[in-house]
């Protein structure tokens, strides 16, 4: 039996039918609307390092999206310390059958370790390709490298995100820290944990509204498919 023909289902409806009972009438089945499931593939910034479970980036982002009237579930696929290579190695099982869209926020640990940007770029390309092969919408979030390895390294590293977005025609949020990066030093300290790398609860609360509209666009696009 061809389920997609029988039900005239979209990709998301098809996923619902996978776990449903096929004898349910079409008119009833079409009345159900499932939430858009977004997998957030990232490192400690995504995982919510150093923060209470409900106060990290993913739960705050999900709450922000729901406040905009969106029916979404944001899955936390962040692993502290992860590099782009680590993200590439686990993207396959991150993209479960229920996932409609994916946020990719990786590269910070690559930059801190001085990994060749060409290697990081190839890993990110592999992640995006996996997402597109799974027919999920992808949002790439950029990371700016510190000056530890010089201006030339930083220029190449920072630029790879825009190049990837253009090459694969995916949406780009240029900088995870866009909302707070240019604040005066005393204000910025008040939004960061003691390590100076990870935002505290208040920092995340400022980061999310800046990144939120990008994710909102991702969710709305996925909902139409």
Q: Which of 4, 10, 44, 116 is catalytic?
A: 44
At 38 the three-state DSSP class reads strand
Active site residue 110: no
Structure tokens belonging to residue 166: 């253009």
In the chain, alpha helices (H): 3-7, 11-18, 26-29, 44-47, 57-67, 84-94, 108-113, 117-133, 151-168, 185-189, 201-223
The residue annotated as part of the active site, out of 152, 182, 186, 195, is 195
Classify residue 181 by burial, with Cβ atoms within 10 Å: 0-12, 13-18, 19+. exposed
Spatial neighbors of 153 by CB under 8 A, at least 6 apart, are: 114, 117, 145
What's the CA dihedral at 158, 206, 181, 122 to 10 degrees? -10
Task: Determine which one of 89, 120, 198, 221 is catalytic.
Answer: 198
In whole angstroms, what is the distance from residue 152 CA to residue 131 CA?
30
Q: What is the DSSP letter of 55?
A: G
Active-site residue flag, 195: yes
Residue 4 known to be catalytic? no
- Coil, strand or helix: which one is 49? coil
| Cβ neighbours around 146 below 10 Å, total | 12
Q: How far is CA 205 from CA 8, 61, 88, 103, in A?
A: 41, 9, 28, 18
Catalytic residue ranges: 44, 195, 198
């Amino acid at each position: 039996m061809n389920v997609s023909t029988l039900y005239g289902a979209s990709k998301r409806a098809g996923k619902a039918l996978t776990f449903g009972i096929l004898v349910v009438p079409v008119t009833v089945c079409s009345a159900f609307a499932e939430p858009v499931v977004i997998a957030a593939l990232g490192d400690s910034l995504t995982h919510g390092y150093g923060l209470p479970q409900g106060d990290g980036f993913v739960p705050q982002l999900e709450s922000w999206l729901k406040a905009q009237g969106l029916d979404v579930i944001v899955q936390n696929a962040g692993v502290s310390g992860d590099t782009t290579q680590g993200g590439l190695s686990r993207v396959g099982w991150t993209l479960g059958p229920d996932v409609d869209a994916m946020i990719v926020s990786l590269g910070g640990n690559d930059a801190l370790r001085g990994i060749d940007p060409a290697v990081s770029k190839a890993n990110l390309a592999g992640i995006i390709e996996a997402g597109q092969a799974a027919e999920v919408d992808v949002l790439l979030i950029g990371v700016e490298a510190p000056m530890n390895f010089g201006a030339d390294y930083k220029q190449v590293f920072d630029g790879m995100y825009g190049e990837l977005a253009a090459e694969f025609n995916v949406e780009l949020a240029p900088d995870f820290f866009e909302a707070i990066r240019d604040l005066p030093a005393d204000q910025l300290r008040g939004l960061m944990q003691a390590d100076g790398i990870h935002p505290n609860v208040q920092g995340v609360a400022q980061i999310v509204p800046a990144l939120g509209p990008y994710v909102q666009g991702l969710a709305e696009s996925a909902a139409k498919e």
